[in-house]
Amino acid sequence: MSLNDLLVKSKIFKDREVFSPYYLPQKLLFRENEISKIEKALAPSLKGERGRNLFVYGKTGSGKTSCVKYVINEAKNIPNIKIAISYINCRIYNSRYRILNKIITDNLPTYAKRGYGAADLYEKFIRWIEEDAKLFIVALDEIDMIKDLDDLIYTLTRVNSDIKKGGVSLIGISNKISFKDILDPRSLSSLYETELVFAPYYSDELYAIIKDRANIGFFENIIDDETLRFIAASAAKEGGDARFSLKILTKAGELSEELNLDSITIEQAKHSVKLAEEDIVYELISTLPEHLKLVLYSISLLSLTGGTYKKLTNGIDTYLFSGEVYSRYRSLAESIHKEPKTERWYRQYLSELEMQGLITSYESGKGIRGHTKLIKISYPSKKISSILEKEIFGVLK
Protein backbone atom coordinates (compact mmCIF):
# COMPACT_ATOMS: atom_id res chain seq x y z
CA MET A 1 0.00 0.00 0.00
CA SER A 2 1.51 3.34 -1.10
CA LEU A 3 1.35 6.68 0.72
CA ASN A 4 -1.12 7.88 -1.90
CA ASP A 5 -3.38 4.90 -1.09
CA LEU A 6 -3.29 5.81 2.59
CA LEU A 7 -4.45 9.35 1.82
CA VAL A 8 -7.55 8.14 -0.03
CA LYS A 9 -10.73 8.49 2.00
CA SER A 10 -11.64 5.25 3.77
CA LYS A 11 -14.55 3.12 2.55
CA ILE A 12 -14.68 1.40 5.94
CA PHE A 13 -14.09 3.97 8.68
CA LYS A 14 -16.42 6.91 9.13
CA ASP A 15 -14.82 7.96 12.45
CA ARG A 16 -11.69 6.09 13.66
CA GLU A 17 -11.63 7.95 16.98
CA VAL A 18 -14.70 6.00 18.11
CA PHE A 19 -12.54 2.85 18.39
CA SER A 20 -9.83 4.49 20.50
CA PRO A 21 -9.50 3.32 24.14
CA TYR A 22 -9.56 7.02 25.08
CA TYR A 23 -12.92 7.71 23.45
CA LEU A 24 -15.62 8.43 26.04
CA PRO A 25 -19.14 7.69 24.71
CA GLN A 26 -22.12 9.74 25.82
CA LYS A 27 -23.58 6.65 27.49
CA LEU A 28 -21.57 3.83 29.08
CA LEU A 29 -23.46 0.61 28.46
CA PHE A 30 -23.92 -1.89 31.33
CA ARG A 31 -22.16 0.34 33.86
CA GLU A 32 -25.09 2.32 35.25
CA ASN A 33 -24.78 0.62 38.64
CA GLU A 34 -21.04 1.32 38.91
CA ILE A 35 -21.51 4.95 37.85
CA SER A 36 -24.19 5.34 40.53
CA LYS A 37 -21.82 3.94 43.18
CA ILE A 38 -19.03 6.33 42.15
CA GLU A 39 -21.48 9.23 42.32
CA LYS A 40 -22.64 8.18 45.80
CA ALA A 41 -19.05 7.82 47.00
CA LEU A 42 -18.17 11.34 45.84
CA ALA A 43 -21.42 13.03 46.89
CA PRO A 44 -20.31 13.72 50.51
CA SER A 45 -17.14 15.44 49.24
CA LEU A 46 -19.19 17.51 46.82
CA LYS A 47 -21.38 18.60 49.74
CA GLY A 48 -18.35 19.85 51.63
CA GLU A 49 -17.54 16.86 53.84
CA ARG A 50 -13.85 15.98 54.08
CA GLY A 51 -11.65 13.04 53.42
CA ARG A 52 -13.87 10.65 51.47
CA ASN A 53 -11.75 8.44 49.21
CA LEU A 54 -12.66 5.84 46.60
CA PHE A 55 -10.69 2.88 45.25
CA VAL A 56 -11.84 1.32 41.98
CA TYR A 57 -10.55 -2.10 40.90
CA GLY A 58 -11.02 -4.33 37.87
CA LYS A 59 -9.25 -5.98 34.96
CA THR A 60 -8.11 -4.00 31.94
CA GLY A 61 -11.04 -3.17 29.68
CA SER A 62 -13.71 -3.42 32.38
CA GLY A 63 -14.69 0.26 32.13
CA LYS A 64 -13.07 1.61 35.33
CA THR A 65 -11.37 4.66 33.86
CA SER A 66 -14.27 5.52 31.55
CA CYS A 67 -16.75 5.48 34.44
CA VAL A 68 -14.53 7.64 36.66
CA LYS A 69 -13.98 10.14 33.83
CA TYR A 70 -17.73 10.15 33.15
CA VAL A 71 -18.51 11.09 36.76
CA ILE A 72 -15.67 13.65 36.83
CA ASN A 73 -17.21 15.37 33.81
CA GLU A 74 -20.57 15.38 35.60
CA ALA A 75 -19.03 16.94 38.71
CA LYS A 76 -17.30 19.68 36.71
CA ASN A 77 -20.68 20.79 35.38
CA ILE A 78 -22.40 21.10 38.76
CA PRO A 79 -23.17 24.82 39.28
CA ASN A 80 -22.31 26.84 42.39
CA ILE A 81 -19.71 24.41 43.75
CA LYS A 82 -16.08 25.44 44.20
CA ILE A 83 -14.58 22.24 42.86
CA ALA A 84 -11.30 21.42 41.15
CA ILE A 85 -10.40 18.04 39.70
CA SER A 86 -7.18 16.53 38.38
CA TYR A 87 -7.07 13.25 36.47
CA ILE A 88 -3.52 11.85 36.50
CA ASN A 89 -2.07 8.88 34.62
CA CYS A 90 0.36 7.35 37.13
CA ARG A 91 2.21 5.43 34.46
CA ILE A 92 3.58 8.84 33.43
CA TYR A 93 3.44 10.70 36.77
CA ASN A 94 4.77 7.91 38.98
CA SER A 95 6.07 9.65 42.11
CA ARG A 96 4.78 11.93 44.86
CA TYR A 97 6.79 14.88 43.52
CA ARG A 98 5.61 14.44 39.93
CA ILE A 99 1.99 14.17 41.04
CA LEU A 100 2.14 17.27 43.25
CA ASN A 101 3.83 19.08 40.38
CA LYS A 102 1.12 17.92 37.97
CA ILE A 103 -1.63 19.11 40.33
CA ILE A 104 -0.02 22.54 40.56
CA THR A 105 0.50 22.67 36.78
CA ASP A 106 -3.15 21.75 36.13
CA ASN A 107 -4.56 24.30 38.52
CA LEU A 108 -1.94 27.04 38.94
CA PRO A 109 -0.22 27.28 35.55
CA THR A 110 1.32 30.68 36.34
CA TYR A 111 3.11 29.37 39.43
CA ALA A 112 6.87 29.02 38.85
CA LYS A 113 7.52 25.37 39.69
CA ARG A 114 11.17 25.00 38.70
CA GLY A 115 13.45 24.50 41.64
CA TYR A 116 10.71 23.97 44.21
CA GLY A 117 10.76 20.83 46.34
CA ALA A 118 7.82 18.66 47.40
CA ALA A 119 7.42 20.59 50.67
CA ASP A 120 7.08 23.92 48.80
CA LEU A 121 4.57 22.43 46.36
CA TYR A 122 2.59 21.01 49.29
CA GLU A 123 2.41 24.41 51.03
CA LYS A 124 1.30 26.08 47.81
CA PHE A 125 -1.32 23.36 47.33
CA ILE A 126 -2.74 23.91 50.82
CA ARG A 127 -2.92 27.71 50.43
CA TRP A 128 -4.66 27.28 47.06
CA ILE A 129 -7.35 25.04 48.59
CA GLU A 130 -7.90 27.29 51.61
CA GLU A 131 -8.13 30.58 49.70
CA ASP A 132 -11.78 29.90 48.79
CA ALA A 133 -12.58 26.62 50.60
CA LYS A 134 -12.20 24.49 47.47
CA LEU A 135 -13.18 20.89 47.14
CA PHE A 136 -10.38 19.11 45.32
CA ILE A 137 -10.66 15.63 43.81
CA VAL A 138 -7.60 13.87 42.40
CA ALA A 139 -8.13 10.73 40.29
CA LEU A 140 -4.98 8.57 40.14
CA ASP A 141 -5.25 6.06 37.30
CA GLU A 142 -3.00 2.99 37.74
CA ILE A 143 -2.20 4.16 41.25
CA ASP A 144 -0.17 0.99 41.88
CA MET A 145 2.52 2.34 39.50
CA ILE A 146 3.54 5.09 41.94
CA LYS A 147 7.02 4.35 43.28
CA ASP A 148 6.59 6.08 46.66
CA LEU A 149 2.89 5.39 47.11
CA ASP A 150 3.06 5.36 50.92
CA ASP A 151 4.53 8.86 50.92
CA LEU A 152 1.91 10.14 48.47
CA ILE A 153 -1.05 8.70 50.39
CA TYR A 154 0.30 10.11 53.65
CA THR A 155 0.71 13.53 52.00
CA LEU A 156 -2.75 13.65 50.39
CA THR A 157 -4.59 12.36 53.47
CA ARG A 158 -2.65 14.75 55.72
CA VAL A 159 -4.01 17.74 53.76
CA ASN A 160 -7.43 17.42 55.38
CA SER A 161 -5.80 17.72 58.81
CA ASP A 162 -3.68 20.71 57.83
CA ILE A 163 -6.40 22.86 56.26
CA LYS A 164 -9.13 24.78 58.07
CA LYS A 165 -11.55 24.93 55.17
CA GLY A 166 -12.00 23.02 51.93
CA GLY A 167 -11.17 19.35 51.41
CA VAL A 168 -9.31 16.78 49.35
CA SER A 169 -10.61 13.44 48.10
CA LEU A 170 -8.69 10.69 46.36
CA ILE A 171 -9.89 8.28 43.66
CA GLY A 172 -7.47 5.41 43.09
CA ILE A 173 -7.89 3.21 39.99
CA SER A 174 -6.02 -0.09 39.72
CA ASN A 175 -6.03 -3.39 37.84
CA LYS A 176 -4.73 -5.09 40.98
CA ILE A 177 -7.26 -5.60 43.76
CA SER A 178 -4.46 -6.67 46.10
CA PHE A 179 -2.19 -3.67 45.57
CA LYS A 180 -3.01 -2.17 48.99
CA ASP A 181 -1.52 -5.26 50.65
CA ILE A 182 1.95 -3.79 50.17
CA LEU A 183 1.10 -0.43 51.76
CA ASP A 184 2.53 0.54 55.11
CA PRO A 185 -0.06 0.04 57.91
CA ARG A 186 0.20 3.76 58.72
CA SER A 187 -0.83 4.65 55.18
CA LEU A 188 -3.74 2.21 55.31
CA SER A 189 -4.94 3.61 58.64
CA SER A 190 -5.08 7.13 57.17
CA LEU A 191 -7.44 6.06 54.39
CA TYR A 192 -11.19 6.33 54.84
CA GLU A 193 -12.29 4.77 51.61
CA THR A 194 -15.06 3.07 49.67
CA GLU A 195 -14.07 0.20 47.39
CA LEU A 196 -15.70 -0.73 44.09
CA VAL A 197 -14.83 -3.77 41.97
CA PHE A 198 -15.68 -3.89 38.27
CA ALA A 199 -16.57 -7.31 36.88
CA PRO A 200 -15.50 -8.26 33.34
CA TYR A 201 -18.07 -7.90 30.54
CA TYR A 202 -20.09 -10.88 29.31
CA SER A 203 -20.16 -11.82 25.64
CA ASP A 204 -23.64 -10.31 25.06
CA GLU A 205 -22.52 -7.07 26.70
CA LEU A 206 -19.40 -6.89 24.56
CA TYR A 207 -21.54 -7.50 21.49
CA ALA A 208 -23.79 -4.54 22.38
CA ILE A 209 -20.76 -2.31 23.08
CA ILE A 210 -18.97 -3.03 19.80
CA LYS A 211 -22.22 -2.90 17.81
CA ASP A 212 -22.82 0.59 19.21
CA ARG A 213 -19.28 1.69 18.28
CA ALA A 214 -19.53 0.06 14.82
CA ASN A 215 -22.75 1.95 14.12
CA ILE A 216 -20.97 5.24 14.84
CA GLY A 217 -17.47 4.51 13.56
CA PHE A 218 -18.11 2.47 10.37
CA PHE A 219 -20.10 3.32 7.29
CA GLU A 220 -23.43 1.54 6.84
CA ASN A 221 -23.46 -2.24 6.14
CA ILE A 222 -19.72 -2.65 6.77
CA ILE A 223 -20.04 -5.46 9.32
CA ASP A 224 -22.80 -7.99 10.05
CA ASP A 225 -24.10 -9.35 13.34
CA GLU A 226 -22.46 -12.76 12.92
CA THR A 227 -19.00 -11.17 12.71
CA LEU A 228 -19.72 -8.84 15.63
CA ARG A 229 -20.84 -11.78 17.78
CA PHE A 230 -17.70 -13.71 16.85
CA ILE A 231 -15.52 -10.77 17.96
CA ALA A 232 -17.48 -10.40 21.20
CA ALA A 233 -17.19 -14.12 21.97
CA SER A 234 -13.43 -14.04 21.27
CA ALA A 235 -12.96 -11.12 23.67
CA ALA A 236 -15.14 -12.79 26.31
CA LYS A 237 -12.87 -15.86 26.22
CA GLU A 238 -9.91 -13.56 26.94
CA GLY A 239 -11.46 -12.20 30.12
CA GLY A 240 -14.28 -9.90 29.03
CA ASP A 241 -12.01 -7.05 27.95
CA ALA A 242 -13.87 -4.30 26.04
CA ARG A 243 -10.60 -2.76 24.85
CA PHE A 244 -9.59 -6.09 23.36
CA SER A 245 -12.88 -6.39 21.48
CA LEU A 246 -12.45 -2.86 20.09
CA LYS A 247 -8.87 -3.63 19.07
CA ILE A 248 -10.07 -6.72 17.14
CA LEU A 249 -12.78 -4.63 15.49
CA THR A 250 -10.29 -1.92 14.50
CA LYS A 251 -7.77 -4.38 13.08
CA ALA A 252 -10.51 -6.15 11.11
CA GLY A 253 -11.45 -2.81 9.57
CA GLU A 254 -7.82 -2.06 8.74
CA LEU A 255 -7.33 -5.48 7.12
CA SER A 256 -10.42 -4.92 4.98
CA GLU A 257 -9.00 -1.55 3.93
CA GLU A 258 -5.67 -3.11 2.95
CA LEU A 259 -7.49 -5.69 0.83
CA ASN A 260 -9.68 -2.95 -0.69
CA LEU A 261 -12.85 -4.74 0.44
CA ASP A 262 -16.23 -3.07 0.86
CA SER A 263 -17.03 -4.83 4.14
CA ILE A 264 -15.51 -6.73 7.06
CA THR A 265 -15.84 -10.50 6.77
CA ILE A 266 -15.50 -13.24 9.36
CA GLU A 267 -12.12 -14.15 7.84
CA GLN A 268 -10.72 -10.70 8.62
CA ALA A 269 -12.16 -10.93 12.13
CA LYS A 270 -10.49 -14.31 12.77
CA HIS A 271 -7.12 -13.03 11.59
CA SER A 272 -7.56 -9.86 13.64
CA VAL A 273 -8.05 -11.85 16.86
CA LYS A 274 -4.50 -13.21 16.51
CA LEU A 275 -3.06 -9.78 15.68
CA ALA A 276 -4.88 -8.17 18.61
CA GLU A 277 -3.67 -10.88 20.99
CA GLU A 278 -0.07 -10.15 19.99
CA ASP A 279 -0.58 -6.42 20.48
CA ILE A 280 -2.23 -6.89 23.87
CA VAL A 281 0.56 -9.13 25.13
CA TYR A 282 3.23 -6.68 23.95
CA GLU A 283 1.43 -3.70 25.52
CA LEU A 284 0.88 -5.60 28.76
CA ILE A 285 4.50 -6.68 29.06
CA SER A 286 5.87 -3.25 28.15
CA THR A 287 3.94 -1.65 31.00
CA LEU A 288 5.01 -4.08 33.74
CA PRO A 289 7.24 -2.72 36.54
CA GLU A 290 10.89 -3.71 36.12
CA HIS A 291 11.00 -6.53 38.70
CA LEU A 292 7.84 -8.10 37.28
CA LYS A 293 9.58 -8.07 33.90
CA LEU A 294 12.60 -9.78 35.43
CA VAL A 295 10.46 -12.52 37.00
CA LEU A 296 8.58 -13.12 33.74
CA TYR A 297 11.87 -13.14 31.80
CA SER A 298 13.22 -15.75 34.24
CA ILE A 299 10.15 -17.92 33.62
CA SER A 300 10.47 -17.58 29.84
CA LEU A 301 14.20 -18.46 29.87
CA LEU A 302 13.68 -21.52 32.05
CA SER A 303 10.75 -22.59 29.88
CA LEU A 304 12.97 -22.45 26.79
CA THR A 305 15.73 -24.55 28.36
CA GLY A 306 13.34 -26.89 30.18
CA GLY A 307 12.52 -26.86 33.85
CA THR A 308 13.20 -29.56 36.38
CA TYR A 309 9.68 -30.97 36.20
CA LYS A 310 7.66 -31.72 33.04
CA LYS A 311 3.95 -32.44 33.02
CA LEU A 312 3.43 -35.97 31.75
CA THR A 313 0.05 -35.61 30.00
CA ASN A 314 1.41 -34.79 26.56
CA GLY A 315 5.08 -33.98 27.04
CA ILE A 316 4.58 -30.41 25.76
CA ASP A 317 3.69 -28.28 28.77
CA THR A 318 6.63 -27.39 30.99
CA TYR A 319 5.99 -26.53 34.63
CA LEU A 320 8.70 -24.82 36.65
CA PHE A 321 9.46 -24.95 40.34
CA SER A 322 8.78 -21.61 42.03
CA GLY A 323 12.15 -21.89 43.79
CA GLU A 324 14.18 -22.26 40.59
CA VAL A 325 12.38 -19.27 39.06
CA TYR A 326 13.23 -17.18 42.12
CA SER A 327 16.90 -18.21 41.89
CA ARG A 328 17.07 -17.24 38.22
CA TYR A 329 15.31 -13.93 38.99
CA ARG A 330 17.87 -13.10 41.70
CA SER A 331 20.75 -13.83 39.32
CA LEU A 332 19.22 -11.68 36.58
CA ALA A 333 18.55 -8.76 38.93
CA GLU A 334 22.12 -8.85 40.23
CA SER A 335 23.51 -9.07 36.68
CA ILE A 336 22.00 -5.66 35.85
CA HIS A 337 22.90 -4.21 39.26
CA LYS A 338 19.39 -4.29 40.72
CA GLU A 339 18.71 -5.32 44.30
CA PRO A 340 16.58 -8.52 44.20
CA LYS A 341 13.30 -8.34 46.07
CA THR A 342 12.47 -10.66 48.95
CA GLU A 343 10.52 -13.90 48.53
CA ARG A 344 7.44 -12.14 49.92
CA TRP A 345 7.57 -9.64 47.05
CA TYR A 346 8.34 -12.44 44.61
CA ARG A 347 5.15 -14.31 45.62
CA GLN A 348 3.21 -11.08 45.10
CA TYR A 349 4.75 -10.74 41.63
CA LEU A 350 3.68 -14.28 40.71
CA SER A 351 0.11 -13.47 41.78
CA GLU A 352 0.10 -10.33 39.64
CA LEU A 353 1.49 -12.13 36.59
CA GLU A 354 -1.18 -14.81 36.99
CA MET A 355 -3.93 -12.22 37.38
CA GLN A 356 -2.73 -10.60 34.13
CA GLY A 357 -3.00 -13.99 32.40
CA LEU A 358 0.72 -14.17 31.60
CA ILE A 359 1.34 -17.32 33.67
CA THR A 360 -0.66 -20.10 35.31
CA SER A 361 0.29 -21.94 38.49
CA TYR A 362 -0.91 -24.57 40.90
CA GLU A 363 0.21 -26.10 44.17
CA SER A 364 1.80 -29.52 43.70
CA GLY A 365 0.69 -32.57 45.62
CA LYS A 366 2.96 -34.65 47.81
CA GLY A 367 5.94 -36.30 46.20
CA ILE A 368 7.41 -33.30 44.36
CA ARG A 369 9.75 -31.81 46.95
CA GLY A 370 6.81 -31.73 49.33
CA HIS A 371 4.31 -28.96 48.57
CA THR A 372 5.53 -26.38 46.07
CA LYS A 373 4.10 -24.01 43.48
CA LEU A 374 4.46 -25.06 39.85
CA ILE A 375 4.47 -22.34 37.19
CA LYS A 376 3.77 -22.34 33.44
CA ILE A 377 4.07 -19.45 31.01
CA SER A 378 0.85 -18.75 29.06
CA TYR A 379 2.37 -17.54 25.77
CA PRO A 380 5.22 -18.79 23.53
CA SER A 381 8.42 -18.53 25.56
CA LYS A 382 10.55 -17.46 22.63
CA LYS A 383 8.29 -14.52 21.78
CA ILE A 384 8.01 -13.42 25.41
CA SER A 385 11.80 -13.65 25.84
CA SER A 386 12.36 -11.58 22.71
CA ILE A 387 10.02 -8.83 23.90
CA LEU A 388 11.51 -8.78 27.38
CA GLU A 389 15.12 -8.68 26.17
CA LYS A 390 14.36 -5.40 24.40
CA GLU A 391 12.46 -4.07 27.41
CA ILE A 392 15.00 -5.07 30.07
CA PHE A 393 18.31 -4.53 28.36
CA GLY A 394 17.11 -1.53 26.44
CA VAL A 395 15.50 0.24 29.40
CA LEU A 396 16.85 -1.07 32.66
CA LYS A 397 20.58 -0.72 32.03
CATH code, 145: 3.40.50.300
Helix (H) or strand (E) holding 34: helix 32-46
Which among 315, 318, 335, 316 has a CA at the least distance from the CA of 327? 335
Q: How far apart are CA 112 and CA 104, in angstroms?
A: 10
What three-state secondary structure class fits 279?
Answer: helix
Q: What is the pLDDT of residue 397?
A: 38
Answer with the one of 286, 315, 345 that is the final residue of a domain. 286
Same-domain status, 71 and 188: yes
329 lies in a domain? yes
Q: What is the pLDDT of residue 112?
A: 56
Interval 370-387: pLDDT, tens:
557 899 998 888 889 988
Answer with the one of 175, 198, 221 that is the final residue of a domain. 198
Same-domain status, 132 and 72: yes
Same-domain status, 47 and 137: yes
DSSP 165-205: S-EEEEEEEES-TTGGGGS-HHHHHT--EEEEEEPPPPHHH
5 lies in a domain? no
Asked if 219 contacts 11 with a C-beta cutoff of 8 angstroms, the reply is yes
As for how many domains the chain has, the answer is: 3
Same-domain status, 282 and 299: no
Question: Residue range 323-331: average pLDDT?
Answer: 95
**Mean pLDDT of the chain, nearest integer:** 87
Q: What is the pLDDT of residue 194?
A: 86
Q: Within its chain, how far is the Cα of 288 from the centroid?
A: 10
Question: 58-68 burial by CB neighbour count: b if 16+ within 10 A, else e?
Answer: bbbbbbbbbbb
> What phi and psi values does residue 101 have, to the nearest 5 degrees?
-60, -40
Q: Crossing angle, helix 290-305 and helix 343-355, to 10 degrees?
A: 80
Instruction: Provide the edge-to-edge strand list for the sheet that holds 318-321.
Output: 309-310, 318-321, 373-377, 359-363
374 lies in a domain? yes
Same-domain status, 46 and 189: yes
Asked if 129 contacts 85 with a C-beta cutoff of 8 angstroms, the reply is no
Range of the domain at 212: 201-286
8 lies in a domain? no
Q: Which ranges of 218-289 does DSSP label H, i.e. alpha helix?
A: 225-237, 242-258, 266-286
Q: Is the pLDDT of residue 396 over 60?
A: no
Q: What is the pLDDT of residue 378?
A: 85
Q: Hey, how many other C-beta atoms are within 10 angstroms of the C-beta on 282? A: 15
| CATH number of the structural domain spanning residue 336 | 1.10.10.10
Interval 156-213: pLDDT, tens:
988 888 988 888 999 999 987 777 776 777 777 767 678 999 999 999 999 999 999 9
Question: Residue range 5-28: average pLDDT?
Answer: 86
Interval 17-65: pLDDT, tens:
999 988 999 999 999 999 999 999 888 888 877 657 899 999 889 999 9
The C-alpha angle with vertex 346 and arms to 345 and 350, in degrees rounded to 5, equals: 115
13 lies in a domain? no
Same-domain status, 299 and 311: yes
Q: How far apart are CA 199 and CA 197, in angstroms?
A: 6
CA distances from residue 218 to 10, 203, 213, 221, 244 in whole angstroms, order as listed = 10, 21, 8, 8, 18
Answer with the one of 286, 310, 343 that is the final residue of a domain. 286
Question: Residue range 217-228: average pLDDT?
Answer: 97
Same-domain status, 296 and 381: yes
